[in-house]
Structure 1
Amino acid sequence: MLNNLRHYIYDLLIDKGWSVTSAKYLNMLALLVALLLIAFIVDFISKRILWRFFSGVAKQTKTNFDDILVKNKLPRNIAHIIPLIILIEFVPQVFSDFVNAEDIIEKTLKVIAIILTLRIIKSLLNSVKDYLKTLPRYKDKPVDSYIQVFMIFAWLLGIFSIFAIITGISFLKFATTLGAASAVILLIFKDTILGFVASIQVSINDMVRIGDWITFEKYAADGDVTEINLATVKVQNWDKTITTIPTYALISDSFKNWRGMKASGGRRIKRSVIIKASSIHFLTKDDVERFKKIELVSTYLENRSKEIDKHNSDANVDKSVLINGRNLTNFGVFRKYLQTYIENHSAINKDMTLMVRQLASTPQGIPMEIYAFSSDQRWENYEYIMADIFDHVLAAVKYFDLQIYELAVPTID
């Protein structure tokens, strides 16, 4: 049909007195305008039809995958295929009198076809990525990395095809030629290749998931993982700043993942107070009677005192000197008090390790450490629980005739 129209316009121009060359140019321009107009109209109609079709299907189906396809403009990109096919089919007839121009236009249209194919693939892969992220089992997986790998391969194939079309070399021969330059290609895409390998290892070994809290001292990262892709891992720190870490660093360097803590049902409290050694002493009978008024250790002191008195009596110990025989100390009773206090605390997980221990002495004094796990793992609540416990500990020290070490700062007269 277009060929008949071309002859008709050409004969009409010749009859009107136009020269052969001018008639050819005007004929080509008229046909080109007509072809572009047809392609534009077809493209507009195709987009409307496909958009309505996909939107209608999306509303009727239960899955949200088709909604995501529409959101990522897949119907719109597919609609461009029909007018592009029309252009490729009829361009040779439009430029039949201009061989050189016909070759350039055909190559250009083929390049556009490759780019359109890549856009369709990108829309489809982005839709798959967005859909997988809506599924609970894929929410914490590095889906972005795999999508990026597919897109890199697609773009490489696309670029190779474009160069093959422009140069007129067959795709296979062009790819073989590039094989000789593989060392250079590996150097250019070193980070991408490392990131790809790292992404696979991270996923297979389940080292990091989106949403994990990680601490990476080398990169000053301390917060939740928000994104894992081919090249980088993004961490939102607790101060709301974003730290970007190379993906391959997750397998080449050491970092801390707090996921185990979250899954355990508790968050560790490991803090101590330093007691002045000079305030530690044996308890006299009067001290014991006074301490029995403290409810959390009254039963312990009652039973322990009877046991010690019996032992000293059986051993005929001279108690005129307090150090002789077995004795209670204010430090030991304080440790027992803290142990009982922690065991009865409502915010402590009783199914996990729970102890109060005496650490090795330091030049400042003797550390008394509480080692336990809070039942609430949320940071703000965890800090509140720990502060509440040590508020009580610090206030309780004086009731056992103990003193907390404080560094004396010399004053300048």
Structure 2
Amino acid sequence: MIWNFTDIHPVLTIAVALLLLAFMALFANFVVKALLVRVLNRALSLTAYGRDPDLRRHGLVERLANIMPALVVSTGIALVPGLPAFVVVVVRNVSSAFMILTAAMAVSAALNIVDTIYHRRPEARLKPIKGYIQVVKIAVYVIAALLMIATLIDRSPLILLSGLGAMAAVLILVFQDTLLSLVAGIQISSTDMVRVGDWIEMPGQNADGDIVEIALHTVKVQNFDKTVTTIPIRKLVTEPVKNWRGMQESGGRRIKRALLLDQTSVRFLDGEETERLSSLDRLGGYLKSKREEIAEWNGRLGERGRIPANTRRVTNIGTFRAYVEDYLRNHPGVHRGMTIMVRQLPPHPEGLPLEIYCFTDTTVWAAYERIQSDIFDHLLAILPEFGLRVFQSPTGEDLRFLLPERESTGRYG
């Protein structure tokens, strides 16, 4: 009687069989996800990795579970009575292609888990593997795409692979950026150019901050204003990059700034000024030894020593330079194990530069700026004690002092 029903109502029979097959696929999906996946997740929760939300969010088990409904459809479609053969082949091929895609996505999720676990290791910031994992993902998806195409057209994958030689030029053109990025990533990793956490500067890319991610194609830099700059990874090989890692590892950050002195304020110190400055703790020993040295030198001049121009005398700028150097060597925020130097640079129209060159004992930005500001606050305030002036261009206040003089002479511009 059943066979008579199928002969009389073939379309209805096919529809009922397809609905039954869909129900079986949904039931299989429910059983796998509601029971097996739940049991497996509970088993994994007994381990350290199973309790980790960062690892479970990749959904590896759930992706593998999606294979079961497609497997039911692929197997059961041939049991549907009266279904044309080409429809059976198409549905089976589509189901197989879906299973291949799901398997590729599961492999990708597994690679994400590997990357997450690796990034928790101390050496992960020195040797990031995210770029290599992305290369493996690309290879997995390329292979999956070839298998899916071969499955959909019902041909052997070897036929497609045999044509890859002719497509090599096209593939190289399509994946040109990927290949260049891969080579750049290998160079960066092998030469240890940059690491995650390094502070880099790339003015050409408007990047000035810490590296937060090194991927296959890009490097993400979080700037100090909390914006994020994304740089093509090959730019780190082809363009200049300043890496501040050496400064951070040394434990000191350089101060290299000059005071611009008014050259007309540079002069010799008289005896009274020398005595007054000798009372300063930082100059007592220096001026004592300097006066002894100068007295010995001038004593050898004989009669020529009566002419002041022939003699050596103490200058205010030289004394100030000695004061600054001693001040830096005893400053609690200056690194004593690194270079400390006070020197004159070539004079220019903006004044005579007296450069302070030293290193702070910290690399923390806020602390560095505080120490540098404290040093120059003190030096600017104590300059008048040496009869020196800081050079600066005339301001409106300077012109106001000249105004009464111009009014008294009756000259106006």
Name the TM-score, length of structure 2 as normaliser: 0.90
Change (3 A) 1:64 1:315: farther
Partner of 2:408: none
Distance 2:303 2:45 in 1: 91
Distance 1:324 1:351 in 2: 40
Partner of 2:345: 359
Deviations 1:286-317 (A, max 9, x none): 22112112221122112221222133224436
Q: Which amino acid aligns with 1:381?
A: A
Contact 1:55–1:67 at 8 Å: present in 2 too?
A: no
Structure 1 alignment gaps of length 5 or more? 1-10
Change (3 A) 1:317 1:165: farther
**Is residue 211 from structure 1 mapped to residue 197 from structure 2 by the alignment?**
yes
Structure 2 alignment gaps of length 5 or more? 400-411
Deviations 1:30-59 (A, max 9, x none): 222222222222222222334334433443
Task: Give how far 1:209 is off.
Answer: 1.0
Change (3 A) 1:145 1:95: farther
Change (3 A) 1:96 1:308: farther
Task: Give how far 1:66 is off.
Answer: 6.6
Task: Give how far 1:320 is off.
Answer: 4.3
Q: Which amino acid aligns with 2:2?
A: L
Distance 1:240 1:308 in 2: 58
Change (3 A) 1:203 1:100: same
Q: Which amino acid aligns with 2:393?
A: L
Partner of 1:168: 154
Partner of 1:12: 2
Change (3 A) 1:274 1:310: same
Contact 2:334–2:359 at 8 Å: present in 1 too?
A: yes
Out of 303, 321, 335, the residue aligned to residue 335 of structure 1 is: 321
Q: CA RMSD in A?
A: 2.1
Contact 2:93–2:154 at 8 Å: present in 1 too?
A: no
> What SS does the corresponding residue of 1:161 show, helix, strand or coil?
helix
**Is residue 226 from structure 1 mapped to residue 226 from structure 2 by the alignment?**
no
Deviations 1:87-124 (A, max 9, x none): 22222122664212101101110110111111101111
Change (3 A) 1:278 1:319: farther
Distance 1:392 1:362 in 2: 24
Out of 281, 285, 288, the residue aligned to residue 271 of structure 2 is: 285
Task: Give how far 1:321 is off.
Answer: 3.7
**Is residue 378 from structure 1 mapped to residue 364 from structure 2 by the alignment?**
yes
Change (3 A) 1:64 1:200: farther
**Is residue 256 from structure 1 mapped to residue 242 from structure 2 by the alignment?**
yes
**Is residue 110 from structure 1 mapped to residue 81 from structure 2 by the alignment?**
no
Task: Give how far 1:140 is off.
Answer: 4.7
Task: Give how far 1:165 is off.
Answer: 2.0
Distance 2:303 2:58 in 1: 89
Deviations 1:177-203 (A, max 9, x none): 132122122112111111111111111
> What SS does the corresponding residue of 1:181 show, helix, strand or coil?
helix
Partner of 2:302: 316
The count of aligned residue pairs is 399
Contact 2:50–2:56 at 8 Å: present in 1 too?
A: no
Task: Give how far 1:67 is off.
Answer: 5.3
> What SS does the corresponding residue of 1:180 show, helix, strand or coil?
helix
**Is residue 269 from structure 1 mapped to residue 273 from structure 2 by the alignment?**
no
Partner of 1:51: 37
**Is residue 60 from structure 1 mapped to residue 50 from structure 2 by the alignment?**
no
Partner of 1:246: 232
Partner of 1:369: 355
> What SS does the corresponding residue of 1:295 show, helix, strand or coil?
coil
Partner of 1:94: 80
Distance 2:9 2:76 in 1: 19
Out of 275, 290, 293, the residue aligned to residue 304 of structure 1 is: 290
Bigger mean CA offset, 256-265 vs 51-60: 51-60
Partner of 1:159: 145
Distance 2:177 2:337 in 1: 46
Change (3 A) 1:63 1:107: closer
Deviations 1:367-394 (A, max 9, x none): 1111111111111111111111111111
Q: Which amino acid aligns with 2:159?
A: K
Deviations 1:116-151 (A, max 9, x none): 111101111111111111212113543321121111
Distance 1:95 1:207 in 2: 66
Bigger mean CA offset, 352-361 vs 305-314: 305-314
Distance 1:227 1:385 in 2: 32
Contact 1:358–1:369 at 8 Å: present in 2 too?
A: yes
Change (3 A) 1:317 1:167: farther
Distance 1:199 1:47 in 2: 40
Equivalent pairs: percent with the same residue?
34
Name the TM-score, length of structure 1 as normaliser: 0.90
> What SS does the corresponding residue of 1:101 show, helix, strand or coil?
helix
Task: Give how far 1:325 is off.
Answer: 2.4
> What SS does the corresponding residue of 1:296 show, helix, strand or coil?
coil
Task: Give how far 1:65 is off.
Answer: 8.6
Contact 2:282–2:327 at 8 Å: present in 1 too?
A: yes
Distance 2:62 2:3 in 1: 40
